[in-house]
Homo-oligomer: A and B are copies of this chain.
């Protein structure tokens, strides 16, 4: 039986077909991201049908950017507001009555993908942290995916780390994702560029320091730009601060760092690891979790959603 996994992002939808060992079988399918619940259901069912050769796949798993509750209802989704409140699971079950369905949070799905077939495949207690425009997360403890009492666990990005910090769209101040996401990296970089301290970044941004973005920093840092490397050092500290909080709370064996930013490689992971150990309580006298880069890349969410569906009941 075919398992199809779908990951719905802010700008695009990606779908994969999984082989019997959970490996991606064939090319990924890309579509524009849906903006409403109807578009979402149509796009998921359509891509599932295409990937399963025209029939109905055995399982369809979907990761969505938001909070999904125990009735598979999308209760909160700032980046997919047209589908907020929609009972996505029910709609998919009507459209594909012969398929096992799993609908859940995208970062939770990515966590399961990395745990089963990626960087965490030898761990039994791991956290996944996805650093992208925002920060998502997932939790695996004792080999089990932990979704929480209402399925809202792993919202790492909205852990407040500075109540006097910048306002977050969620309404609070100083959420971790204000500092340690791609958006946070852009803020750090523009501060320096506007003050004249990062000419290389300003050049990459077409001459306007106000247009410097996170991707300019990671590219410049990889090319050895000193100002960019300094920014990455500072940024890595903010990433490590949140990871250390998570280590103090969950005590995993491993924290897998994924999401778009991890494409920066050691330019990011080096500064994170440098700062991490000292930020964990008693880090000098106890083993601290291993901090590693994700290995499934942008497919992690689709793979994990497909695997969850393949093991779902019904």
Contact = CB atoms under 8 A, between A and B. Distances in A.
Contacts of A172: 279, 281
Given A159-B245, A160-B245, A248-B158, A75 B286 contact: yes
A40 B149 CA distance: 38
B76 A286 contact: yes
Contact of A67 (B141, B153, B282): B282
Interface string A117-131: 000000011000000
Contacts of A154: 249, 251
A20 interface: no
Given A125-B148, A279-B172, A282-B170, A163 B241 contact: yes
B286 A250 contact: no
A222 to B, nearest CB: 27
A106 interface: no
B246 A249 contact: yes
A250 B156 CA distance: 9
Q: Give the copy number.
A: 2
Contacts of A158: 248, 281
A172 B242 CA distance: 13
Contact of A148 (B75, B151, B251, B285): B251
A162 interface: yes
A285 B251 contact: no
Interface string A138-172: 01011010111111111110111111100000111
B155 A248 contact: yes
A249 B155 contact: yes
Contacts of A125: 148-149
A249 B180 CA distance: 16
A249 B67 CA distance: 13
Interface in A145-203: 146-156, 158-164, 170-172
A272 interface: no
A244 B173 CA distance: 13
A193 B289 CA distance: 43
A176 to B, nearest CB: 9
Interface of A: 67, 69, 75-76, 124-125, 137, 139, 141-142, 144, 146-156, 158-164, 170-172, 241, 244-246, 248-253, 278-279, 281-282, 285-287, 289
20 contacts: A67-B286, A76-B281, A124-B149, A146-B250, A148-B250, A149-B251, A150-B251, A150-B253, A150-B287, A152-B281, A152-B282, A154-B249, A155-B248, A160-B161, A160-B244, A161-B161, A161-B163, A162-B163, A162-B164, A171-B278
- The 3 A-B residue pairs whose C-beta atoms are closest, nearest first, are A148-B251, A149-B253, A153-B251
Given A152-B248, A155-B248, A155-B251, 10 more contacts: A76-B281, A146-B250, A149-B252, A149-B253, A151-B251, A152-B251, A152-B281, A160-B241, A161-B163, A162-B164
